[in-house]
A and B are shown apart, each in its own frame.
Chain A
Amino acid sequence: NAGVTQTPKFQVLKTGQSMTLQCAQDMNHEYMSWYRQDPGMGLRLIHYSVGAGITDQGEVPNGYNVSRSTTEDFPLRLLSAAPSQTSVYFCASRPHRETGELFFGEGSRLTVL
């Protein structure tokens, strides 16, 4: 099993550009989520999904869009990138009905100029 796979690992964008961060998991987990990590602020929840076709907002959803058409994939879209979205992004998953740990991807570093 590959676990949680994120692509790309690094990306540089110009203000106003759009892009998609990809996330895929091969563990058949129902729950998937996106976090962003900023210096001095820990990780904050952007969006999450409890199953295919179901998504909801987290703590900092503005400027991001998500969809969940399959159990495996949970892409995060930046519609019009802003410098404030410069961050490290983590995708995570877990079996929905369990109280166990989140499995994290390796993170994607995004820089918006």
Chain B
Amino acid sequence: AQTVTQSQPEMSVQEAETVTLSCTYDTSESDYYLFWYKQPPSRQMILVIRQEAYKQQNATENRFSVNFQKAAKSFSLKISDSQLGDAAMYFCAYRSDYNTDKLIFGTGTRLQVFP
């Protein structure tokens, strides 16, 4: 069975600085998708970024980028120029390309942003 591990329960960053959130996963499959979701205090789950395992190039969305290391099964999220609005819970998630019906989530990392 696939698992997703987020080893940092909490992280903090100064406004305008850069922070990296860690995520590792375990799978025997070669085709899959990885996601980072943001959950602000409003509780809404918002997709931040997505990475297809077959793509070697790391995904980027504005200030958000990932470091995808397939061999190491690592998928970290880098937030550049952090803003107060980035404060939230961040969840890493895995989805198999063979069983697309189930999204497997990590336990989350709470990010605090200080002015």
Q: Which residues of A contact B (CB under 8 A)?
A: 31, 33, 35, 40-45, 48, 50, 56, 58-59, 88, 90, 92, 99-102, 104, 106-107
Q: CB-CB < 8 A to A56: which residues of B?
A: 101
Binds A, one of B12-20, B66-74, B75-83, B104-112: B104-112
Q: What number of A-B contacts does a CB cutoff of 8 Å give?
A: 46
Q: Within the complex, which residue of A43, A50, A101 is in contact with B105, where a contact is CB–CB below 8 Å?
A: A43
Q: CB-CB < 8 A to B100: which residues of A?
A: 99
User: Once the chains are docked, how many angstroms separate the CA of A107 from the CA of B35?
Assistant: 19
Size range of the chain B interface in the assembly: 20 to 34
| Distance between B92 CB and nearest chain A CB, rounded to angstroms | 9
> Is B11's beta carbon under 8 Å from chain A?
no
Q: Chain B, 11-53, contact with A by CB distance < 8 Å: what is the 0/1 string? A: 0000000000000000000000101000000111101001010
CB-based contact B44/A106 at 8 Å: yes
Q: Which residues of B contact A (CB under 8 A)?
A: 4, 33, 35, 42-45, 47, 50, 52, 91, 97, 100-103, 105-108
